[in-house]
Amino acid sequence: MIRQSIKIAFIAVCLLGVLCGVLLLPASADTTRQFGVHGDLDGDGEVTVSDARILLQYLVKKIDFNDFGYLRAMADVNGDNAVDINDARLVLQKIVGKIDTFPWTPNLLFVGNSLTYWGLAPESMRTLCRLSGRPLTVLKHTPPTTWLGDYLNHYAAGFYEYHRQQADIVVLQNMNDYILPEPECVAEFRSYFRPGTRFYSLMTEYASCLFYDWDPAPPGDVTPIPCGLAFWLLRADPRTADFDLYDPDGFHPNELYGYLQALTAYAVIYQTTCVGLPYDFLSDKALTCLGGGDIAEKILLIQQKVMEAVAADPADYPVIIQEIWKVTDPY
């Protein structure tokens, strides 16, 4: 009891020092180092007063985390996708022995490009999970490339080691050099991650569904997320054909399509329905893409089309799209 009181008193002094600007993060501290323990912000492999000090300095804006979101993910120990006083409280409780572990939430890594991020799909996925009681930490990763091979080069060179250590779920965007994640490509990706990491393929473009030929199962045990198929199912239905799902540039998904991507990923990853999930976090601009009328009814139609796509046999993707194209202009 006395030892715990001393620890609490010492931590209180640290907090006071942070608030007064006395205890600053040492100039030599490397806040971009790559580790794998939630709450460990100084990289020593443990959760200590040093980590509490760094977290508190962040909360009072003495320092920032400029490291592609890794330290923010490590500081978010309760998995609510925010770094705030609740995380600091848990870190302090762990230091003094009041709790042994932090609430665990899975880490979802998007390995993507502009087709992944333009429409805010990761943000929509994170919000859907939080509002539905399935919190997860979203790790985003966007080097300046559209080629999946470049990502492999980054991992082979040892960059982004924290992804390898932390990711429980990896969503690969179909990219220019791999319309489908070919077996050797997925196998190489797997070699950089922990055993048991689950892999999915975000099939945003229709081509990834049209040329689907994984028989009898996806290569490397990667599960398809057929948002491109859901897109064409919407196009084929007169009630939803006029929904605007693309950015004005005619190529990138807009926020409404990003929501569709997130709904599809949610349904596939959690193996549950996305019907009834919230949409009120979408911007007014995104909702105007529905063309007015009963917004709730139109969102429900999107969710139903997503579930129709998810229920389809992957081997039938090309047939379904080709049938749609007989009655719908593919361009």
CATH architecture of structural domain 107-325 = 3-Layer(aba) Sandwich (3.40)
Whether the pTM exceeds 0.75: the reply is no
Q: What is the mean pLDDT of residues 195-216?
A: 69
209 vs 278, more confident = 278
- In angstroms, how far is the first alpha carbon of the chain from the final one? 72
Which phi and psi angles does 148 have, rounded to 5°?
-60, -35
Q: How far apart are CA 163 and CA 185, in angstroms?
A: 17
Average pLDDT across the chain, whole number: 79
Q: Residue 181's CB: how many other CB atoms inside 10 A? A: 26
Q: How far apart are CA 59 and CA 86, in angstroms?
A: 11
Q: How far apart are CA 37 and CA 26, in angstroms?
A: 21
Question: Domain spans of the chain?
Answer: 2-95, 107-325
Query: Any idea which of 39-43, 71-75, 239-243, 323-327 has the lowest mean pLDDT?
Result: 71-75
What string of DSSP letters covers 257-314? HHHHHHHHHHHHHHTS--TT---TTS-HHHHHTTTSS-HHHHHHHHHHHHHHHHHS-G
Residues in the chain: 331
